[in-house]
């Protein structure tokens, strides 16, 4: 059940990221990100009574604050990268770091996944590498101009996944509420310092609202999944979110998938099967 929840969170994460990138194309990326985070915070507060739990412990609060800082930075960088670059490149590059960091932390904490799961993790990392490949018309690999943004975003998101997992879910949605309040405050402060107006055009308003709500849902599913399953496997499945982002970019934006990217998506599906067959 934990791994299925993680996989569901990946699908929803990818959809939310696509919407976030779409909103950032229609307005200032920082404004879109800050407002989406605020929407997620509101959704979390409304859902709080549905998850009866006691107050969080001090360590849980501190980990949740860490999740808010790293998550806010990672999402802001990701949405900016999706706005200025190719969705089918930026999202997978970000995911490489988002996979590697939690897996390394999990191994450092003593987790030892079974052989099939290890193979699935390795294939998952390879799959996002293949999906992120972009060739010029002559067939030579070319670097995406937002590659550095993607790597920085991935490092921050990987740290977010670790912090959120360490915050735990024994206190219901409180860790998510604290994390989202932290990220919202940080992004609003950054927008004010940068003198960016906290508003989006009407054409982007619905997209921002959907993005914030879906992102909060994905976070909740991930939080439940890490309570029930091992961090390494759960984080790996959750980090496969670029598959849905890339597919939406193909359907909505008309971005073409190259052969190597299609192979990468196929590898991602095989990786999911290997990880689930534990």
The conformation of residue 198, written as its DSSP 8-state character, comes to: S
pLDDT band at 88; cut points 50, 70, 90: low
pLDDT digits (tens, 9 = 90+) for 96-117: 777 778 877 888 888 777 788 7
Contact 82, 21 (CB under 8 A): yes
Can you give the pLDDT at residue 143? 46
The pTM is what?
0.77
Domain count, the chain: 1
| The dihedral formed by the CA atoms of 269, 128, 215 and 104, expressed in degrees to the nearest 10 | 100
In which domain, by residue range, is 107 found? 2-276
Packed helices 147-167 and 87-108: angle between N→C axes, nearest 10 degrees: 40
Task: Report, as an integer, the average pLDDT of 125-132.
Answer: 71
CA distance 254 to 273: 28
Contact 164, 223 (CB under 8 A): yes
Task: Report, as an integer, the average pLDDT of 175-199.
Answer: 91
Give the closest residue to 214 by CA, choosing from 67, 36, 88.
36
Give the closest residue to 119 by CA, choosing from 264, 238, 275.
275
């Amino acid at each position: 059940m934990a791994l299925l929840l993680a996989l569901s969170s990946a699908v929803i994460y990818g959809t939310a990221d696509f919407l976030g990138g779409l909103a950032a194309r229609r307005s200032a990326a920082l404004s879109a990100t800050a407002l989406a985070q605020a929407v997620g915070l509101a959704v979390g507060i409304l859902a709080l009574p549905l998850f009866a739990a006691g107050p969080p412990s001090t360590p849980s609060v501190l980990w949740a604050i860490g999740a808010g800082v790293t998550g806010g930075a990672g999402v802001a960088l990701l949405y900016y990268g999706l706005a200025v670059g190719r969705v089918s490149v930026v999202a997978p590059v970000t995911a490489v770091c988002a996979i590697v960091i939690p897996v390394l932390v999990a191994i450092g904490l003593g987790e030892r996944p079974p052989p099939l799961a290890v193979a699935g993790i390795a294939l998952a990392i390879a799959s996002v590498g293949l999906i992120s490949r972009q060739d010029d018309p002559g067939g030579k690999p070319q670097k995406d101009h937002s590659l550095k943004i993607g790597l920085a975003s991935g490092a921050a998101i990987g740290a977010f996944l670790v912090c959120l997992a360490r915050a735990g879910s024994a206190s219901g949605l409180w860790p998510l509420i604290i994390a989202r309040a932290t990220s919202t405050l940080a992004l609003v402060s950054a927008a004010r310092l940068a003198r960016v107006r906290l508003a989006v055009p009407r054409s982007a308003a619905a997209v921002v609202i959907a993005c914030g709500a879906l992102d909060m849902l994905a976070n909740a599913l991930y939080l439940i999944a890490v309570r029930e399953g091992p961090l390494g496997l759960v984080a790996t499945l959750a980090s496969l979110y670029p598959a849905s982002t890339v597919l939406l970019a193909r359907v909505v934006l008309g971005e073409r998938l190259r052969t190597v990217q299609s192979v990468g998506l196929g590898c991602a599906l095989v990786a999911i099967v290997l990880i689930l067959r534990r």
